[in-house]
Amino acid sequence: MSEKARILIVDDDESIRKALTAVLEEEGYAVDTAQSGNEAIKKCNENYYNLALIDIRLPDMEGTKLLNAMRQDTPPMVKIIVTGYPSLSNAIEAVNKGADAYLLKPMVMDDVLKTIKEHLDKQRGARKYSEGKVAEFIESRARELEAEANVGNATQ
Amino acid sequence: MPPNQSEVLVESAAAQGKGLEERLSALNFYGGKLNSADNLQQVYELTLSAMEQLLGFEHASFLVKDRDYLKVVCQRGYTEQLSFKLPLDGSKKGITVAAANKGRPLIVDDVTKSPEYVPGSPEVRSELAVPVEIEGRTVGVLNVENRQLGAFDEKDANLLQILASHAATAISNLEKRQEIEKRSSQLTSLMRSSAEMIRSADLRQRLQRIAEAIEELGWRRVVISVRDENLQIARPEDMVTVGLTDEERRYLWDKRPPGHVWAERFGQEFQRFKVGEFYHLRWSDPWVRQKFSNGTVDSHLSADEMVDWDPQDLLYAPLKLAEGRIVGVLSIDDPTDGKRPTRDSLAPLELFIHQAAVAIENAKLIQQLNSARDQIREYAEHLEEKVKERTRDLKESEERSKSILTASPDAITVTDLEGNIVECTEQAWKAYHSPSREDLIGKNAFELIADRDRDRARSDMEKTLNSGLVRSAEYTLLTQDGHEYPAELSASVIRDAMDEPIGFVAVTKDISDRRRMEQQLLKAERLAAIGQVAAMVGHDLRNPLTGIAGAAYYLKIKLGAAMEPRATEMVELIEKDIEYSNKIINDLLDYSREIRLELAEASPKGIVKEALGHVTIPENVDVADKTKSNPKIVVDSEMLVRAFVNIIRNAVDAMPNGGKLTISSKQTDTDLEIAFSDTGLGMSEEVLDRLWTPFFTTKAKGMGLGLSICKRIVEAHAGKILVSSAEGKGTTFTATFPIEPCLSGGEVA
């Protein structure tokens, strides 16, 4: 893949944003950051991100709420909730609200990179599949049009 | 005899030449004799003897008036006994009858020529009859007869008149004497009756005696009836009778007039019939006849016994008390002398009227007295019963109070107004560490209060006296041996029956435990607050830790192999400390978080194995896991693992120089025990005391939350955790769980 995967970090903690940005850029991702839920929503509307790391607690809203508020793209953006309050109910809630994964603070960077990579791979596979589908559709449509044209020519 | 009359007589005798001297002396002689006669027969005989001496005659007789007749009571010179009776109405004539009726002497010179003469002896030619009179009342006739014509003259008549007056005087005297004797015998009988009456205990007997006494006084039938305030007779027994047949009694009872009739009979209308206390209703009175036409009991007197008493006459008297109240009625009938009563004849009866009235009243009083006495006796018995009952109640109440006092877990002390102890419960003397109750009694209560609280206690006592009550005052109390303990005291004033205060009763409660609990609670609250703060802090620390971790990671990947070995080591140090910081944060969060259990069946061995997997066991420590797989327990495995990790970590830490950790499980009844024994340093008493206290630690590292969390987790499973330790030998932690879950403390998610 030639194009860099785009990652949005949503966290109000500056050092987290900076440290994660440094690590992820070093790993070859295109990283953008948002300090609040609203900023995140705004950025999502303007740009496409393959993946978002969302802190569960944001100054203006709960991270789980943000999951629903962000634009639904195709293929869907991978949403990973980051929380400092580890508990099963927390995790279940996050997943129910549409999170693809769940990371605990303090984040162990190896784990973070691994999780991101896994989900991006999955996303790429899904895109390929849908790209294949589109190509197949276009091809079959083209054949149909061609056939129609042939029929038209014949009748003319 | 008047002297002038004598002179006449003397003169006449002298004129006749019949030995006047002799005749006068005979007259005098017999006059004296007659005066001393003992009975009527003597009077008659003496009179006839005198007539013989004075007059000389063939026949002489003494006739006495008997009701409507004249009858011969004594005779001389007749060959046969004269036994005729001459009616005084003259229907059968008779010179004597004429004399009696005329009230003067009658001289008949020739009987054959007299229309009054009743033929008797054939030789009789002349006759003289002189009436015998007492106070103008003719009681008899003296009669002489002679064979010669004109044998009697005026002088004879005069002499005989004098003799007749002598005889009359004698008869009168005898009558009076008889009357006196009768009275005397009545009096005797009265006195005897009175004595008997007094001796008779019961009313009926007494009334019976009275009735009998009245009978003796000359009344054949006597009825005494006891009456109530309405003059009614209550029962047949209240009617005492003498001389009545059973039939008559029944008749009287059946026909008894109602009370108001008797009230009327004693009323105004009947006043005119009063004779003394009695009412004598004469049948001759037309009003009486009309009023009492219903008829009464037939008389018991025969016709010839009646003098002037009418069998229909009524005679009764009220039995009246001095105050005037009528308590009974006396009715009498059939006078034995056949005569109507007079005030005099009834006088002795009046005594009985009063006696009977008093007897009836006394009987009533006695009856009342008796019933009052019975009532009093009954009341006394009742009272005794009451007293017994009351005593029993009191005793019960006392017992109850006593048992309440005894049962009270608090010390109860009773003091006088100065605070001197007069009574106390076992708890009280024990709380003072006294050897006995007697030891505490007599002491002043203020001695039991610590010096610094005494003045306050005194002023509280004053307040109690005013307000009657003091509640929950807290003082430091002393024991006999000087030990202090906090106590709460409530006291109230004891008052006597006059509402005067006489002392105090105080209830004191040792509040050491409560104080301790309060302190613990305070501590727990403080800890909870700390926990909350710690959680907040911990969470907030995670952000910078994430930043640090990210930064360190960047350095590691950016510089990588280019980094100096020392720099690489530093980065690793950063990462390690991040990890350790995170652990501290996790412990803090665990400690402050509510434990929510997620239960599932698990094997003890599995849990222990997982826990062991989380702990790095040094090489010099030997672990023997003897935990069995069964019985399975229903628990939150993740939680238990965390708890066991703490215990195992502690055990490992306790064996810095190596040793052996033995883990075993044992089923007891309904529980499962899991024991962790190390051969480490062991713990001192002091450490054991504070072992479960949060933030207590003997380690250089760590916050001392491990065992607290451990205990919380076990207890959330309704289990318990115990520790035994010997310094230098090792420590054993034993966690016990119910095999079937019965949870308390924690919540189940």
Give pLDDT tens digits for B312-322: 888 999 988 88
* Beta carbons within 8 Å of B579's beta carbon, 6+ residues apart: none
Name every chain B residue with its beta carbon within 8 A of the beta carbon of A18. 547, 550-551
Q: Do the beta carbons of residue B68 and residue B86 sit within 8 Å?
A: no
Of the two residues B500 and B693, the one the predictor is more confident about is B500
Give the strand order in the sheet containing B720-726. Answer: B621-626, B659-668, B671-678, B730-738, B720-726
Best probe of the B interface among A7, A33, A53, A107, by most B CBs < 10 A, is A107
Q: Kindly state the tokens that stand for B2.
A: 């008047």
Alpha helices by DSSP H, listed for B512-629, are 512-559, 565-592, 604-614
Q: Of A13, A23, A88, which is closest to B543 when you measure between CB atoms?
A: A13
- What DSSP string describes B136-158? TEEEEEEEEEESSTT---HHHHH
Q: Do the beta carbons of residue B360 and residue B234 sit within 8 Å?
A: no
Q: Kindly state the tokens that stand for B667.
A: 């089923």
Is A19–B544 a contact, with Cβ atoms under 8 angstroms apart?
Answer: no
Q: Rounded to an integer, what is the distance from CA B420 to the centroid of its chain?
A: 43
In 3D space, the residue among A22, A42, A30 whose CA is nearest the CA of residue A4 turns out to be A30
Name every chain B residue with its beta carbon within 8 A of the beta carbon of A106. 542, 545-546, 548-549, 578, 582
Interface of A with B in 8-67 (CB under 8 A): 13, 15-16, 18-20, 22-23, 26-27
pLDDT band at A21 (very low <50, low <70, confident <90, very high): very high
State yes or no: cis peptide before B631, omega within 30 of 0. yes
Is A107–B551 a contact, with Cβ atoms under 8 angstroms apart?
Answer: no
Q: In whole angstroms, give the CA distance from residue B716 to residue B741.
A: 10
Q: In whole angstroms, give the CA distance from residue B609 to residue B79.
A: 176
CA angle B404, B408, B412 (to 5 degrees): 95
Name the residue of chain B whose CA is nearest to A24's CA: B554
pLDDT band at B747 (very low <50, low <70, confident <90, very high): very low
Q: In whole angstroms, give the CA distance from residue A99 to residue B620.
A: 46
Q: In whole angstroms, give the CA distance from residue A23 to residue B557.
A: 8
B498 touching A (Cβ < 8 Å) = no
C-alpha distances in angstroms, B529 versus B518, B519, B583? 16, 15, 20
Best probe of the A interface among B532, B536, B546, B598, by most A CBs < 10 A, is B546
In 3D space, the residue among B153, B169, B133 whose CA is nearest the CA of residue B56 turns out to be B153
Smallest CA–CA separation between B569 and chain A, in Å? 18
Q: Do the beta carbons of residue B459 and residue B432 sit within 8 Å?
A: no
Give residue-wise pLDDT tens across range B277-306: 899 988 888 888 888 776 556 677 777 777
Name the residue of chain B whose CA is nearest to A20's CA: B550
The three-state secondary structure class of B624 is strand
pLDDT of B6 above 50 = no
Best probe of the B interface among A7, A9, A16, by most B CBs < 10 A, is A16
Is A23–B550 a contact, with Cβ atoms under 8 angstroms apart?
Answer: yes
Q: Do the beta carbons of residue B319 and residue B357 sit within 8 Å?
A: yes
- Mean pLDDT to the nearest integer, A88-106: 76
B113 touching A (Cβ < 8 Å) = no
Q: Do the beta carbons of residue B217 and residue B207 sit within 8 Å?
A: no
Smallest CA–CA separation between A30 and chain B, in Å? 16
In 3D space, the residue among B227, B307, B285, B299 whose CA is nearest the CA of residue B261 turns out to be B227
Interface of B with A in 592-611 (CB under 8 A): 598
Give residue-wise pLDDT tens across range B305-353: 777 888 888 899 998 888 888 889 998 988 888 888 888 888 878 877 8
pLDDT band at A74 (very low <50, low <70, confident <90, very high): low
Interface of A with B in 92-131 (CB under 8 A): 105-110
Smallest CA–CA separation between A21 and chain B, in Å? 9
**CA count, 13 A, side-chain hemisphere, B220:** 18
Q: Of A18, A88, A106, which is closest to B549 when you measure between CB atoms?
A: A106
Q: What is the CB neighbour count within 10 angstroms for residue B5?
A: 13
pTM of structure: 0.39
pLDDT of B120 above 90 = no
Q: What is the CB neighbour count within 10 angstroms for residue B261?
A: 10
Q: What is the helix, strand, coil percentage profile of chain A, to 5?
A: 55, 15, 30
pLDDT band at A8 (very low <50, low <70, confident <90, very high): very high
Of the two residues A47 and B540, the one the predictor is more confident about is A47
pLDDT band at B18 (very low <50, low <70, confident <90, very high): low
Give residue-wise pLDDT tens across range B220-263: 889 999 888 888 888 888 888 988 888 888 888 888 888 888 88
- Mean pLDDT to the nearest integer, B4-31: 58
Q: Kindly state the tokens that stand for B182.
A: 């009768």
Q: In whole angstroms, give the CA distance from residue B384 to residue B391.
A: 10
Name every chain A residue with its beta carbon within 8 A of the beta carbon of B749. 88-89
In 3D space, the residue among B278, B273, B277, B315 whose CA is nearest the CA of residue B296 turns out to be B315
In 3D space, the residue among B40, B61, B89, B33 whose CA is nearest the CA of residue B160 turns out to be B61
Q: Residues in chain A, how many? A: 156
Interface of B with A in 183-242 (CB under 8 A): none
Is B539–A13 a contact, with Cβ atoms under 8 angstroms apart?
Answer: no
Smallest CA–CA separation between A44 and chain B, in Å? 24
Cβ-Cβ pairs closer than 8 A, A with B, add up to 65
Interface of B with A in 21-60 (CB under 8 A): none
Is A107–B550 a contact, with Cβ atoms under 8 angstroms apart?
Answer: yes
- What DSSP string describes B45-91? HHHHHHHHHHT--SEEEEEEEETTEEEEEEEES-SS----EEETTST
Give me the interface pTM, i.e. the ipTM.
Answer: 0.76
Q: What is the CB neighbour count within 10 angstroms for residue B322?
A: 9
Q: What is the CA radius of gyration of chain A?
A: 20
Q: Rounded to an integer, what is the distance from CA B547 to the centroid of its chain?
A: 99
% of chain B exceeding 90 in pLDDT: 1
Give residue-wise pLDDT tens across range B458-469: 888 888 888 878
- What DSSP string describes B648-685? HHHHHHT-TT-EEEEEEEEEETTEEEEEEEE-S----H
- What DSSP string describes A79-92? EEEEESS--HHHHH
Burial B689-726 (b: 16+ CB within 10 A, else e): eebeebeeeeeeebbbbbbbbbbbbbbbbbbebebebe
